[in-house]
Amino acid sequence: MRDILPILIVGAIIGTFALLFLVAFFTAKRKKVLENRERNMPDSEIIRRLLAYAKPYRKHFVLVFFVMLLANVYSVVSPLIIGHIEETVVGNFEMSYLLRVVAVYVAILIVSLVCTYTQAMVLQKAGQKILSAMRQDVFTHIESLSHEQLNNIPVGKLVTRVSNDPNAISFMFTNILVTLVQNVMVVFAVLAAMLMLNYMLTLMVLCFVPFVVLFTIIFRRFSRSVHLRVNDATTDVNTYLSENLSGIKITQIFNREDRKMEDFLEKSRALEKAKRSRMFVFGIFQPMVYMLYISSVLCLMYLGGRGYIGGWNVLGQTVSSGVIVSFYMYISKFFNPIQQLAEQFDMLQRSFAAAEKIFTVMDMVPEIVDSPGAKDLENIRGEIEFRDVWFAYNPGEWVLKGVSFHISPKQTVAFVGSTGSGKSTILSLICRNYDIQKGQILIDGVDIKEVTIASLRRHFGQMLQDVFLFSGTIRSNIVLRDEFPNEDIRKACEYVNADSFIYRLDNGLDEVVRERGNNFSAGQRQLLSFARTIIHKPAVMILDEATANIDTETELLIQDSLEKMKNIGTMLIVAHRLSTIQHADNIILLSHGTILEQGTHQELLHQKGRYYNLYTLQYNKEQLQRQA
């Protein structure tokens, strides 16, 4: 009994830790059920979908697999060689024989190093291609979402899905999965070598394996949970930054920097807390595996030492000094991959958590899609008709109620009315940014649901109040990456009077545009949007409050541009300034989603209805401002 007392003490300590972890595991599992948390995507589903991205590069992974087999030879053979060297030195020593053994060891080491380099290079190339493919798929899918869906997703969340999350998944393909496979191969190869060398000592080592498996399962349960928390907290921080950095001028104007900093610190603390939880879980698992490793080494030294010194013969196995040295190295190579599982599982759970976030976005079904059998709309004349159109952003809250009107080709039609009357909604519905609930919208007599969305929108040019310019140059913002001759760009700028400021700039069309075009005035950005629309030659032009917040001088340029643009195609205008739409062919006045009046400017004034009252009110207000 005294001979095996140290072994019993080690077993009691390990058993105590195992019992504590089991209690924590089932307690946490019960707590999860009680909290009724949302079920996560199964690992099998995540792996299946990720492997679809790796399938085109399966030849790369097959090559890596065979390279790993060669590299693993070093892990299996080196302990045997070292043990043999030890016995050679202790026994009949011959320098020439020792040098030959050392030469074999060095050769195996060099082959292993070359294999490791080849493996890394092949994996990096495949991983970067997988990363690019995934980012492209995510970005393309986000582009296919409807306006309503995009409005419901914070921009920071989308940025995280496209930028940060694919990086974690790429690392999984280039490092984690291959390392896991390699470690599994090493474990089994080392185990086979140990069994052939001394199965009595191997059985002793295997007694620790059930505890390794138990600790790994428990770690996986907690690791997945904390990684999801870290990802959620990271998304919250990115979302907050994206929104508040965009609106930082408003924060400064209202002197709310301190309040915003408090909000940011609160989200940062939540992220810090989540990361501390992840570090805590990781910090427990790795020492536990290391404890098993040290325990197995102690048992080896105890049993091996007593066997070697006392000449034990257990199950017909004898222990020599070379066997002890080889087994010491084998135990290290056996437990080292298992110990690395802590870090590998940590990173693997990060990758799975990132993949789950990505697939959640990619599983969003686009609400606006091409109908079965939809055809491309090649050319249009610009005839538009609404037939008893009903539309609501939220069920039951009708924004448009039975709206019907007809627009002839090349007509200029203006929509006026109070805020919320449905003006901008009509323009969005024509481009099919949203789908109507009742009625029909026709382009040249064809229902817009019967044509492809891309071909429909290709015929529209939209000029909005809040012009968005991309970082780049004036030229790139006008052509939007399409190829146009310099002469066409110059003519488009002159046509809309944008040349009045472009050619005064040092670099002309190649002048740098900073983020959102903040180095240009509102009027200049609007003229650039006009040039961008004209050069793409749309059949229907849409102006949604395009003349709002513009100074008088720029407004004159814009008015002149609008007069020229009327000759290009059908023009739809939404404007609060009634003076800008006096020459429209038809003016439609909306109120609470219905059409109250329509006609020319003079016809509506003659009716002396709602339009007459609005125009008189604005006219008197402008006169008072001029007198002041």
Query: What is the DSSP track for 30-92?
Result: HHHHHHTPPPPPPHHHHHHHHHHHHGGGHHHHHHHHHHHHHHHHHHHHHHHHHHHHHHHHHSS
Residue 44 CB neighbours (<10 A): 8
Enter the tokens of residue 522: 């509102």
CATH code given to domain 5-35+44-362: 1.20.1560.10
Q: What 8-state DSSP symbol labels residue 176?
A: I
Q: What is the 3-state secondary structure of 368-414? A: CCCCCCCECCCCCCCCEEEEEEEEEEECCEEEEEEEEEEECCCCEEE
pLDDT value at residue 84: 63
Q: Are 299 and 292 contacting, i.e. CB atoms less than 8 angstroms apart? A: no
pLDDT value at residue 333: 77
Nearest one of 460, 466, 406, 395 to 433, comparing CA atoms: 460
Say how far apart CA 426 and CA 405 lie, in whole Å. Answer: 11
Residue 79, Cβ density class (10 Å: 0-12 exposed, 13-18 middle, ≥19 buried)? buried
pLDDT value at residue 404: 95
Domains in the chain: boundaries: 5-35+44-362
Residue 556 CB neighbours (<10 A): 12
pLDDT value at residue 179: 76
Enter the tokens of residue 461: 């040019």
SS3 444: coil
Q: Are strands 460-464 and 472-473 parallel, antiparallel or unpaired?
A: unpaired
SS3 312: coil
In sequence order, what are the beta bridge partners of 389? 403
Contacts of residue 527, defined as CB under 8 A and 6 or more positions apart, other chains included, come to: 496, 497, 498, 500, 501, 554, 557, 558, 561
Mean pLDDT for back-to-back runs of 10 residues, the chain (628 residues) = 59 70 63 43 84 86 82 72 64 65 78 82 84 89 86 80 83 77 79 78 76 74 75 82 78 82 90 85 75 75 63 57 74 73 69 85 88 87 93 90 93 89 91 91 93 90 81 88 83 85 87 84 84 86 72 66 74 80 89 92 90 84 68
Q: Which amino acid is at 70?
A: L
Say how far apart CA 189 and CA 205 lie, in whole Å. Answer: 14
pLDDT value at residue 408: 92
Say how far apart CA 570 and CA 461 lie, in whole Å. Answer: 10
Say how far apart CA 229 and CA 241 lie, in whole Å. Answer: 18
pLDDT value at residue 304: 66
